Amino acid sequence: MDQADRQEKVSEVEVIKRNSRHLRGSIAEELANGEPSFTEESRQLLKFHGVYQQDDRDLRAKLRKEGKDKHYIMMVRARIPGGVLTPDQYLQFDRVTDWYGGGTLRVTTRQTIQLHYVLKRNLKQAIRALNDVMVTTLNGCGDQVRNVIACAAPVADDVHRELREDVLALVDKVGAKTRAYHEIWLDGEPVAGTPDEDEEPLYKDVYLPRKFKFGFAIEGDNCIDVYSNDVGIVAHPEGGHVKGYTILVGGGMGRTASMKQTYPRLASPLGYVPRADLVDACVAVLTAYRDYGNRANRRRARLKYLIDERGLDWFRGEVQSRFGRLLADAPDLVWQDAHDHYGWHPQGDGRWYLGLFVENGRIKDEGEFRLKTALRAVVERWRPTVHLTTQQNVILAGFAEADRPEVEAVLRSHGVRLAHEWSRVMLNSMACVGLPTCGLSVADSERALPQVLPQLERIITGLGLADEDITIRMTGCPNGCARPYISDIAFVGRSPNKYDVFLGGDFLGRHLNKLYKELVPLDQLAAEVEPVLAAFAREREPGERFGDFVRRKGVDYFRELNVGLSS
């Protein structure tokens, strides 16, 4: 008996899932009804197919005044395991956003691409066009395993090859199997009668209590923020190969500001497994969550809450029972770096890769800055593999050394700067999409952070800190899609143009930050953190990072300085 059966009460979403016939619902019928939007039931099921129904929130007030309905738009999110795209796949995204989307591509913190502003009438064509190049949107969203992320460095050695093999093996095992996707979007023949009980051998008919995230890192390099995942998987190289993996469980950034019983959490060590046992161990973790996760209260449904309620020892015992053997003790992990592989690097096979900074992940053409056109030109000419990163950037791989000057020339001719031409403040910054498309956002983020960063650049440079790595992240709401709660400085939207300020995370992603100030206006954010940065410049110990300094002093120390502009 699973958790959904054990609980007397389940959420409305659980009822929708159970009655959906493995995610079919009435999506196909509603696609053909000529209406600009979907019903609530279909909206919930569409998430599993990689689609969020949204509306252009910049237009809400105007349309309401005119007595009109919202301007409904769809966000389409693909599943791109480890963020790796062939040249043809990347170019298809470039075309599809011009045909059906808003003309830009949005790289996400989970190494995938979102298309915005897709109209309902064009939704099927957009999804089919992506499937034409073997890209699916199934598992892009919804209560299932989301896009599996991994270190994006395209290094040509056995460790990275084996890591990639294990990513794909896990994706194949834990991905949704429903035939509904093919039937609805690719004109497959509907299955007569009720779908088979075996159609989803892992998810059954209720899928998971909430979304679930796996992330792969290689010990020493935490470019993916491995502790922020429901399951963090850390590879241990030995003798040029992956010997095994440490499994971390219970990470997650989401919280609700008004609910103290919701909170961000870093993943805890569960155990160590040899490489050959990884997928089986991950399935044991996933099914334990499937059967015991909270299906009544969605705000308390993530794995982190199950672990905190039942205890890590209980959870380890449940996993070992399903796994069929004991987990070895997890070793202490050592991290040296978390940079996003910017700039030119040798791949190890005689070729080179280039890591490019993409401000807030938005690939676009705007005035003299024409990143979208530049990437298209480079991919069409040199045919590099495209790697998306969890810090919303792009790596192009497979260049001959002789190509490097000409590749740089093409980029610069389109107004695109190389990574070393950006400040560290910019390179270490990140924002979620926020307004006007995200339905959860209460404040701007992608559009707001560029207003704050130039002020912070001036402050940091003036204090002699330009060479320091300080992560700065902004989100439009407390849900934390840009992983703000592990950054050195975070601005989290609480109301229109007002943000909570968090301080004292960790560049290496090992520590949570703490709330410093609440409801700070957008135009005062830089001024609020300036005294803290000044204290860091004055009082830090040799080699001490900003987050370590803040945690050593404690946020109360900075509040007591009484130099902030708001309380």
Domain with residue 408: its CATH number is: 3.90.480.10
Supply 438's token pair.
Answer: 């995200």
Model confidence band, residue 190 (pLDDT cutoffs 50, 70, 90): low
Report d(CA 122, CA 342) in Å as an integer: 36
Model confidence band, residue 565 (pLDDT cutoffs 50, 70, 90): very low
Q: What angle do CA 509, 105, 386 make, to 5 degrees?
A: 70
Within-domain flag for 124: no
Report d(CA 303, CA 286) in Å as an integer: 9
**360 and 449 share a domain?**
no
Within-domain flag for 304: yes
**370 and 495 share a domain?**
no
**What single-letter DSSP state applies at residue 136?**
B
pLDDT, average across residues 10-35? 97
- Among 338, 368, 400, give the residue marking a domain's end: 338
pLDDT at res. 403: 98
**301 and 403 share a domain?**
no
**244 and 350 share a domain?**
no
Supply 211's token pair.
Answer: 């979304």
The continuous run of DSSP H or E covering 398 comes out as: strand 394-399
Report d(CA 363, CA 391) in Å as an integer: 14
- Among 289, 323, 338, give the residue marking a domain's end: 338
Within-domain flag for 376: yes
- β-sheet with 514-521: strand ranges across: 429-431, 472-475, 489-495, 498-503, 514-521
Report d(CA 37, CA 30) in Å as an integer: 8
Asked if the peptide bond before residue 436 counts as cis, ω within 30 degrees of 0, the response is yes
**Residue 223: active-site member:** no
pLDDT at res. 258: 87
**Residue 57: active-site member:** no
pLDDT, average across residues 102-119? 98
| pLDDT tens sequence across 212-247 | 999 999 999 999 999 999 999 999 999 999 999 999
**What single-letter DSSP state applies at residue 540?**
P
**549 and 434 share a domain?**
yes
Other CB atoms within a 10 A radius of the CB of residue 511 amount to 19
Within-domain flag for 236: yes
pLDDT at res. 1: 40
Q: Are strands 149-150 and 214-218 parallel, antiparallel or unpaired?
A: parallel
Q: Where are the alpha helices (DSSP H) in 117-220?
A: 123-131, 158-174, 180-185
Catalytic residue, chosen from 17, 43, 77, 124, is 77
pLDDT at res. 236: 98
pLDDT at res. 8: 66
Entry field: residues in the chain: 567
Range of the domain at 302: 143-192+201-338
Query: Residue 48 pairs with which residues in a beta bridge?
Result: none
Model confidence band, residue 194 (pLDDT cutoffs 50, 70, 90): low
SS (H, E, C) 280-349: HHHHHHHHHHHHHCCCCCHHHCCHHHHHHHHCHHHHHHHHHHHHCCCCECCCCCCCCECCCCCEEEECCC
**Residue 432: active-site member:** yes
**384 and 431 share a domain?**
no
Model confidence band, residue 397 (pLDDT cutoffs 50, 70, 90): very high
Q: Is the pLDDT of residue 566 over 50?
A: no
Cα-trace Rg, the chain: 23
Within-domain flag for 166: yes
Catalytic residue, chosen from 79, 438, 494, 551, is 438
Model confidence band, residue 193 (pLDDT cutoffs 50, 70, 90): low
Q: Is the pLDDT of residue 211 over 90?
A: yes
Catalytic residue, chosen from 43, 47, 179, 211, is 211
pLDDT, average across residues 469-493? 97
pLDDT, average across residues 10-19? 96
**324 and 352 share a domain?**
no
**333 and 365 share a domain?**
no
Q: Where are the beta strands (DSSP E) in 25-126?
A: 51-55, 72-77, 84-85, 105-107, 113-118
pLDDT at res. 495: 96
Three-class secondary structure of residue 377 per DSSP: helix
Catalytic residue, chosen from 213, 316, 483, 540, is 213
Within-domain flag for 486: yes
Q: Is the pLDDT of residue 2 over 70?
A: no
Q: Is the pLDDT of residue 5 over 50?
A: no
**165 and 288 share a domain?**
yes
Asked if the peptide bond before residue 195 counts as cis, ω within 30 degrees of 0, the response is no
Supply 21's token pair.
Answer: 């016939």
**Cα–Cα distances in Å, from 109 out to 260, 423, 432?**
26, 21, 8
pLDDT, average across residues 304-318? 98
**Cα–Cα distances in Å, from 299 out to 93, 227, 256, 315, 438?**
33, 20, 8, 20, 18
**390 and 464 share a domain?**
no
pLDDT at res. 3: 47
**Residue 481: active-site member:** yes
Q: How much of the chain is in helix, strand and coil states, percent to nearest 5?
A: 35, 20, 40
Summary mean pLDDT of the chain: 95
Catalytic residue, chosen from 17, 151, 477, 551, is 477
Tokens 């990140």 label which residue?
430
**What single-letter DSSP state applies at residue 196?**
P
**Residue 77: active-site member:** yes
Helix and strand element counts for the chain (H, E): 19, 22
Which are the contacts of 483, defined by CB distance < 8 A and separation ≥ 6? 109, 225, 228, 253, 430, 473
Q: DSSP states of 225-283 as a string?
A: -GGGSSEEEEEEEETTEEEEEEEEE--B----TT-TT---B--EEEEEEEGGGHHHHHH
Report d(CA 506, CA 469) in Å as an integer: 10
| pLDDT tens sequence across 249-305 | 999 999 998 899 999 999 999 999 999 999 999 999 999 999 999 999 999 999 999
Does residue 311 come out as left (phi exceeding 0), alpha (psi in the -120 to 50 range) or beta?
Answer: left
Report d(CA 65, CA 222) in Å as an integer: 49
Identify which of 170, 179, 308 has the alpha carbon closest to the alpha carbon of residue 235. Answer: 170
How many domains, in total, are found in the chain? Answer: 3
- Among 289, 311, 338, give the residue marking a domain's end: 338
**Residue 204: active-site member:** no
- CB-count exposure of residue 242 (10 Å: 0-12, 13-18, 19+): buried
| pLDDT tens sequence across 414-435 | 999 999 999 999 999 999 999 9
Q: Is the pLDDT of residue 189 over 80?
A: no
| pLDDT tens sequence across 352-363 | 999 999 999 999
Within-domain flag for 540: yes
Identify which of 481, 527, 487, 522 has the alpha carbon closest to the alpha carbon of residue 503. Answer: 487
How much is the pTM?
0.95
**317 and 168 share a domain?**
yes
Report d(CA 54, CA 51) in Å as an integer: 9
Catalytic residue, chosen from 141, 151, 223, 481, is 481
Tokens 């830009």 label which residue?
104
Domain with residue 476: its CATH number is: 3.30.413.10
**349 and 398 share a domain?**
yes
Q: What angle do CA 253, 259, 260 make, to 5 degrees?
A: 80
pLDDT, average across residues 328-344? 97
pLDDT at res. 567: 41
Supply 339's token pair.
Answer: 């940079």
Report d(CA 125, CA 261) in Å as an integer: 42
Within-domain flag for 176: yes
Catalytic residue, chosen from 24, 43, 120, 146, is 146
Other CB atoms within a 10 A radius of the CB of residue 276 amount to 9
Supply 454's token pair.
Answer: 């130039």
Catalytic residue, chosen from 47, 432, 498, 551, is 432
**Cα–Cα distances in Å, from 37 out to 16, 23, 55, 63, 120?**
18, 18, 10, 16, 7
**Residue 243: active-site member:** no
Q: Are 514 and 503 in contact (CB under 8 A)?
A: yes
